[in-house]
């Protein structure tokens, strides 16, 4: 039993410490979230990415950050003003 405790202690104390490198984003939170979501969307086929463009532009427009809106408009070659505006379903139901 002592050998097991010694072995486990050796693994725990002798194992290299893995420090998680915190992901840093020096942009507004919305920009960081959109960039991370787009990185994940790059795995999707082109057709699905095109369908997501409306959602990305909508989120960018809701941020009221002109630089962010311009970045995503340029990426999709569409204007954020072309994104349809939907009624607030939650507000209507409440």
Tens of pLDDT, residue by residue, the chain (94 residues): 666 566 556 656 665 554 444 567 888 889 999 999 999 999 999 999 989 998 999 999 988 899 999 999 999 998 988 777 778 888 888 8
- Write down the pLDDT at residue 14: 60
Burial annotation 7-37 (CB, 10 A radius, 16+ → b, else e): eeeeeeeeeeeeeeeeeeeeeeeebeebeee
Segment (H or E) for 1: none
Q: How many helices (H) and strands (E) would you count in the chain? A: 5, 0
- Write down the pLDDT at residue 36: 92
The domain spans of the chain are 25-81
CA distance 23 to 40: 15
- Write down the pLDDT at residue 86: 75
Q: What is the pTM of this model?
A: 0.64
- Write down the pLDDT at residue 26: 85
């Amino acid at each position: 039993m002592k050998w097991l405790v010694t072995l486990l202690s050796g693994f725990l104390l002798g194992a290299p410490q893995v420090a998680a490198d915190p992901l840093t984003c020096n942009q507004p939170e919305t920009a960081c979230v959109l960039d991370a979501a787009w990185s994940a969307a790059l795995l999707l086929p082109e057709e699905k990415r095109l369908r997501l463009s409306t959602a990305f532009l909508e989120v960018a427009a809701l941020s009221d950050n002109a630089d962010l809106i311009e970045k995503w408009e340029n990426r999709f070659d569409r204007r954020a003003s072309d994104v349809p505006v939907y009624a607030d379903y939650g507000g209507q139901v409440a």
